Amino acid sequence: MLLLLLAACSGSPAPAPPAGELVFLRGAVLSPVAGQEGRPVAGGGRLIPRDWSPGETVRIDGLTGTAPVRAECVPLFHVDLGDVARLIAMGGEAPNTALAFSPGEGDRLAVGSYLGDLLMVDGWTGEVLGRRHLAETMVKQVAWSADGGTLYVAEQSPDALVHALDPATLEDRWTLRLADFVEPSPAPPGDDLYGVYSLPAAYGLAVLPGGDLIVAASHSWVDGDGVHRNRSQILRVSPSGAVRDRWPERPADATFLHPRVDAEGGLLAFAVNRSADGPAPADLPIGGVQVLDLDGLEPVVAVHTERLAPWFTEAFVWEALDVSRAQDALFLGFGDGRVRITDLRGVERAALNTGAPVMAGDMPIHASVGWGRILGDQVLFTTSSTLIPYGAASPELRPPSAHPAENTVWAVGLDGQTVWSWSGEPVLQGLTVAPDGRTVVVGSGRRPADDRRDLYGALVFDAGGEDRSGDDRLVTVCSTAGPVFFRHAVSADGRIAVSESPVMGADGAVQGAYQVTVLR
């Protein structure tokens, strides 16, 4: 009995306290302790959904932490995408990379690379589940069907194939050759740094609720006689690969870029630009946006603007465009720094000169509008770092001072009045709206003016809710080792996928990696 009592009093050794700290993320806490609650992530630990308030004391798994004022952001994993040192050493920019989380919980991440590789990745651990190499190709677009049962992949290649793939095997179910619509081009010489961009491609894939696919087929090239040519066409493709509709009936002498779909409103908008020789077609809004009805691809409205003389030879729209039938609104942002908002008859509601040229001494400077979306009753867009207009006497010079609107995220009402804005040092790259409709991710890329590397990554904003300043809307900053490309993806739970690229060091050596990083 005495022995039993002694044993009972001495007991077992006290368990060691858990190691590590709680990390407070957006709407979640990352615990380093293995367990049943939450979702296991790469490197151990679990991501546990949890709303918290700044200053709150939180206890999980025997660990206690005090919630910070601003959420932290950590990398969950990296996926290597290959060697692009030659591209960077030759002066190339960040390599094109396409990213898309699977619908629902985002368990899979589809990645298409500049080198022509297609990867299927576990969206939580980074494990590569499948890989396929497409020859003579840059993967331009990836998109999922609504049920996650089909992955659509578009090439920029001599044939410009669109693939409908089985996500489990990455084998083709069918292919569509866009070169049959907008003409093929031969593969460029290996030493042509930008030759791949002269090949035909899908400059946008959008999956409609009924399963059809909108494809913006576009081709800009110099033919064998030295003539610069353009061919583009919008295609509506069935889930079986049949082309149901096309606009226009014959390929257009222009480039159609970056379609935006208002599925509920039944509208499609896309940028219309032109780089071909010869007179431009009179029936297209060159340097503007065309809107079509999704049912039959019939024209609704075409809006363009005249060039901003004397600094620009043309107007140009990149990815700053959107359309909303519910708001009776069409948004256009131009490379010269202007913004226009019209109704669906083309009647102007607001015109802004946000990043338009101003004089810095005897030198004009501007900030382009490259990315933007309509979000409810507001328009969100970004302005670039300071540039010298390409029509100026010395556009290759470094700008003498900063444009007042440089490196800014803007939210304006449909009447053009500023609701909030945020400015900072990061060079803004892309603008992605998360599935929740209010979280907005803006990338931070290479800095042309200096070699600072502490500003790369992604900025996360909350664009919804009550009236707040831009600084209060910056939820978190996700840092990366390398500059971020302008295509991002966001899962329903808030994971962010970005593509990083190497940079040229001061010693002339290429530093860093071409990789996908998933952050939370």
Tell me the pLDDT tens digit for each residue of 324-352. 999 999 999 999 999 999 999 999 999 99
Please enumerate in sequence order all residues whose Cβ is within 8 A of that of 13, keeping only pairs 6 or more positions apart, or say none. Answer: none
- Residue 4's pLDDT is 36
Q: What is the spatial distance between Cα 160 and Cα 180, in angstroms, rounded to a whole number?
A: 9
Does 444 have pLDDT greater than 60?
yes
pLDDT tens figures, 223-241: 989 999 999 999 999 999 9
Task: Say yes or no to pLDDT of 362 above 60.
Answer: yes
pLDDT higher than 70, residue 250: yes
- In this structure, the number of other CB atoms found within 10 A of the CB of residue 36 comes to 6
Asked whether 235 and 245 are in contact (CB, 8 A), the reply is yes
Q: How far apart are CA 81 and CA 79, in angstroms?
A: 6
DSSP lists the bridge partners of residue 118 as: 112, 132
On the question of pLDDT at 246 being above 50, the answer is yes
CA distance to 101, 138, 203, 210, per residue, from 206 (Å): 14, 19, 10, 12
Question: How much is the pLDDT for 27?
Answer: 94
pLDDT at 494 over 70: yes
Mean pLDDT for the stretch of residues 31-52: 88
Domain ranges of the chain: 19-72, 74-106+426-520, 305-423
Q: Each residue of 172-228: pLDDT tens digit? A: 999 999 999 999 999 888 777 788 899 999 999 999 999 999 999 999 999 989 999
Structure tokens that stand for 165 in this block: 């793939």
Over residues 298-325, the mean pLDDT reads: 96
Mean pLDDT of the 302-317 span: 94
Assess whether pLDDT exceeds 90 at residue 42: no
Give the integer Cα–Cα distance in Å for 520 and 518: 7
User: For residue 7, what pLDDT band results from cuts at 50, 70 and 90?
Assistant: very low
Residue 128's closest CA among 518, 451, 519, 508?
A: 518
Residue 190, classified by CB atoms within 10 Å of its CB into exposed (0-12), middle (13-18) or buried (19+), is exposed
Q: State pLDDT tens for residues 146-159.
A: 999 999 999 999 99
Q: Does residue 381 carry a pLDDT above 70? A: yes
Binned at pLDDT 50, 70 and 90, residue 43 comes out as confident
Confidence of residue 264 (pLDDT cuts 50, 70, 90): very high
Whole-angstrom Cα distance, residue 510 to residue 73?
Answer: 27
Note every long-range contact of 165-174, with CB atoms under 8 Å and residues 24 or more positions apart, other chains counting. Answer: 165/118, 167/102, 167/108, 167/110, 167/120, 168/130, 169/130, 170/118, 170/120, 170/130, 170/131, 170/132, 173/241, 174/240, 174/241
- Whether 312 shows a pLDDT value over 90: the answer reads yes
**pLDDT-derived band at 19, boundaries 50, 70, 90:** low
Q: Residue 5: is its pLDDT beyond 60?
A: no
DSSP line for 19-86: PS--EEETTEEEESS--SSSEE-TTS-EEEE----TT-EEEETTEEEE--SS----EEEEEE----HH
pLDDT bin (cut points 50, 70, 90) of residue 3 is: very low
Q: Does the pLDDT at position 1 exceed 80? A: no
Consecutive H or E run containing 4 = helix 2-10
**Mean pLDDT across the stretch 278-283?**
94
pLDDT band at 18 (very low <50, low <70, confident <90, very high): low
Instruction: Give the pLDDT confidence of 469-478 residue by residue, as tens digits.
Output: 999 999 999 9
Instruction: Find the range with the poorest average confidence among 39-43, 79-83, 257-261, 310-314.
Output: 39-43
Q: What is the mean pLDDT of the chain?
A: 92
Share of the chain above pLDDT 90, in %: 82
Q: Confirm whether pTM is higher than 0.85.
A: yes
Strand order in the sheet with 39-40: 23-25, 28-31, 46-49, 39-40
Q: What is the fold of 305-423?
A: Thrombin, subunit H (2.40.10)
Amino acid at 282: A
Cβ neighbours of residue 53 closer than 8 Å, sequence gap 6 or more: 67
Q: How confident is the model at residue 74 (pLDDT cuts 50, 70, 90)?
A: very high
Tell me whether strands 172-177 and 138-144 are parallel, antiparallel or unpaired. Answer: unpaired
Model pLDDT for residues 425-439, shown as the tens digit of each residue: 999 999 999 999 999
Torsions phi, psi for 2 (to 5 deg): -60, -40
DSSP state of 187: P
